[in-house]
Structure 1
Amino acid sequence: MSSEHVERRLAAILAADVAGSCRLIGIDEEGTLARLKALRRTLFDPKIAQHHGRVVKNTGDGAIAEFASVVDAVRCADEIQRGMAEQNIDVPQDKRIELRIGIHVGDIIIEENDIFGDGVNIAVRLEGIAEPGGISISDDARRQIRGKVDVTFEDLGSQSLKNIAEPMRVWRVPYGRAVPAVPNRWPVDETLALPNKPSIAVLPFTNLNSDPEQEYFADGMVDDIITALSHFKALFVIARNSSFTYKGRAVDVKQVGRELGVRYVLEGSVRKAANRVRITGQLVDTATGAHLWAERFDGGLGDVFDLQDQVTESVVGAIAPAVEKAEIERAKRKPTESLDAYTLYLRGLARFYQSANRQANDEALRLFNRAIELDPDFASAYGRAALCYVIAKTNGWFSDTANEIAEVKRLAQRAVELGKDDAIALAASGWALAFVVRDLEAGAGLIDRALVLNSNSAEAWFCGGWVKTFLGEQEPAIGRFARAMRLSPLDPRVSGMRAGTAFAHFLLGRYDEAASWAAMVLQDNPDHQPGLRVAAASNAMAGRPEQAHQAMARLRQLNPALRVSTLKAVLGPWPADDVARYEEGLRQAGLPE
């Protein structure tokens, strides 16, 4: 065994290489080499030194640099790419010198003035998969810089790197990240970084007829859809002027995603036949090309504006939940140690939608609170956290102590302060204030504000339906629940919408209708406690004791402590006469005093 000591240390390694160097040298050998030397002298080497790194070796058209801090390495790489982009602004595309950069933090071997080992090899392989003008870093590097550098990274997932035994999770700064805006010029082959919330572009719908009137109709509908989507504060929506640059062009949605910096694209077509018009729409994930939603609408041309409004409402009502669902699935695929506030929020939503389960509801609240810790100005996270208490109270998991009620009030008020133009934050807070804090006037006012801000929000209509039942306005409540279900028919909260509809019918004395709606709730969710309660009460009052007792037996299995005397803990602030009738129905179904 050799006794020779091998010097090792932990370091951040930056590997850089010129993309397409052979092609550039083939076009102009002397000119390219002279420009490379000038770039090293004026940009690359000074930036390495400025950020406390050292160039270990030059490799002809590339270099390896070592840093004691991965934060310094990433900041250096970002500034180098920014500088390269600025120098390339007036250079023709085929003559641009563009760098690929890879960064890894790991163990290296030092030998004289050179470095070796897996740390170096991985950085070189990461450089090899970076895009021209972009940066790729390992997950180890990403963990150490999180929250410390002002650079947006995109998760590429697990990647197999050449000659590296195990796949590695890789992150990247997309190509074009550092390219400054150039007035009056359309970007060529650039990829914009994705915003930190779901992003969508609505492309001009294709007119499949030669009739110019159809063109105006299709363009007007796209205008309306863009405007309606922009009311969802959780969405980043590309403005009309950018979307319409694609009008009349055959486009690849993946290319649109790169050029506009969006993850989702809505495209569609309009075809007229006689007095009928057919409109199709489809939502596409630009990263994968996968179709997330597609629908067809047929209507008469008697009132084109009415038809345009109907299609806009249907499309927008379907798209917002489809995007949210896709974002939740993406969040689930992110590493569990991710502490990004938006990722935590999405994970919380995934658990929140399983909220008939107490453990899921508790976990959702924990995740929303963690998101708030990372981003104290996250209005929707405050609103959803308040809603977790609504779900807990509905299911009898809420102790109704002064401290808990004060916490709900705090969360709701903070959501309102931060989200004055956020319909989701306002609606969630309104429901929580009305139901838990029992401030009906404030809760109803917030939901009305939410509906003014965004009349296409299924969640605002849903929360508003429940608050209308508290106010004793059952017919408007049924209308609000119907609007919510029409806007989002596949919504994970549809059980709550149906239960609310059942309850409103019960309070109107329509016990058969109430029992029918309750049956739909329990068909999808047999353990839905509000659904079981209204099923038991409505069947009892309709003279169907067997069905009433069956629902009550399951309800008491789920909540053995429930009594007529303790109902207040799970009921909202309904008028006294309504509560008395509901209690009577539950007594007849077998609920003990």
Structure 2
Amino acid sequence: MDRKLAAIIAGDIVGYSRLMAENEAATYAELRAVFGDLIEPSVRRFGGTTFKNAGDGFLAAFASVNDALDAAVEIQNGFDQRPFEFRIGVNLGDVIEDNGDIYGDGVNVASRLESMAAPGSIFVSSAVVMSADRNRGKSFCHIGRRAAKNIPDRLDVYAVKRPGQPDSRWSRVQSFVPRLGVRLAYGLGATTLVLIGLSLQPVPLSAMIARLPSALSTLARTDRSDPRPSVAVMPFDNMSSDPAQAYFANGLTEDITTQLARSSELQVIDPDSASAVQDHASDIRRIGNRLNVAYVVQGSARRVGDKFRVAAQLIDVTSGAHLWTQSYDRNVDEIFTVESELTSQIVASLVSYVGKTEQEAAVRRPTGSLQAYDLVLQARERFKHDIKDPDGLLAARGLYQQALELDPSYAAARAGLGMTYILDMTQRVTGRATERDAEIGLSEARQSIRLDPTLAIGYQVVSFGLSATGDYLGALQAARRSVELNPNDPDSLMAVAKAQVRYGDYADAVASAEQARRLHPMAPEYYAYVHGQALYAAGRRDEAANVIRECLIRAPQDANCLLIQTALQAAREDLGDAQASMTSLIKANPAFSLKSERQFSRFGDTPLMKQFLTDLERAKAPETAMFVGAGDDRA
């Protein structure tokens, strides 16, 4: 059996049994003609494989979401000229291939989408929308979240608007969509926020009236390209008398952010970016402007022995109004319940409903050992993967190992442990890591996924590990799965962007990098490098130069950004500047060489890679490393 990520098309003729009853011979003949002249050629043309034919329907698998969408549109366009009405569902997900057949949730969800679809339409999952080319964005219409038979999670459903689609058929699809416009819906939702807040914290009628204009102000916000509510969870203040307890408040902040980020209905800012503007915590409008969010969560935590107190509040950035405030006095063993309640309240306030599955996911206990949980919080505090701190990395590794001694099935601890090995090998944090470390890290990350198949960080670590060992296609698939599980995780989006650059999906890489930087506006220089690299690959050289310049203003010796700057300058025939940048690059990374760049192949086996190497040669790049044994700083 072979498990892989695939785009699945499920198609079915509407009312086939009735048509057969009316004229069996003619219907069957037309059906055979449809499969022979339309469906099978379209599937093959876009690189797909039909693995099941059920008479009046079919299932086909594709390696690419975009190929699957192109095939679905071509098939549905063909049915506009046929006597049948056809409906199609498309999903991206994990499948198992065995003896020529394909099974798994990826197939099941595609079939359920097909059964929901209106005649003549194509319904797709949110995973398809997120993975499709950016230029397809306007062709998707959000239908809503729908329950499906034998599928535990509610499906986030979108319809595809086909070019030239008959208006009568599109109007049927539009009838599935709520009639309120997006801004009006969010405006009414914002009004609901006030009512929710009132139910939690009674206020005078005058205060309620004062809040309504602020709540309705979302109706006037037209400058947001993404209509989803945006929120930042600010670092919870440590109210304990012991400063060493700060890790508990920081861990609470990170866990609540992670749970919120699982909701595709929200835009959730990375906690590191929120932390970067913490100095302006008293100025909510300034925070909102810096992070480009509409709502902010602030809170505090105090832990004494086996007791803790948590207070939190949701604030409208525009008005400064506190939409709700809540506090909890609990035993430490109820920490996961409190996190779940806080997350559910925030989601319920910012979108029109909380899906049952989101609540269930939030309430799951990641471990039965509170001591193990405490050790993981300490490990996160000791080492951040964008900082080269050898002592911190080794300390974090030891803490993760202690957590696993207490609870060997703690998936997040295994993913964190795996990350310490992989980052040490790829970023040369301690200078002692080998390829064996990457193998150990991959083993731990894979085990974390086996323990919890919905753990986004597990797939992210697998993606990093596979990239480090040269399995770039596997790295891309793992990164996409991580984004599917947590669409608000900027690290996973950056992993996707790098893999897309290597495979030549340059426009998609730019889109992924831009989304990552939107979610992490205070990100480290690595984000600017990947963004600039993607723009360079996409041929958008002026934009790339601006992004790389931004990186080098903040970090003049960043080797990755110096590398892209060198290539950009050489491509523009500014050879004097290119050679000066190359000198700075070698100073920042003495291990750099053309030989290592050929081996690393950051642009894959493409004409761009050859041009990239040619430009570096013109900038006087050394063929081999100038200093033997120097640490390689490649990303």
Higher gyration radius (CA): 1
TM-score normalised per structure 1: 0.44
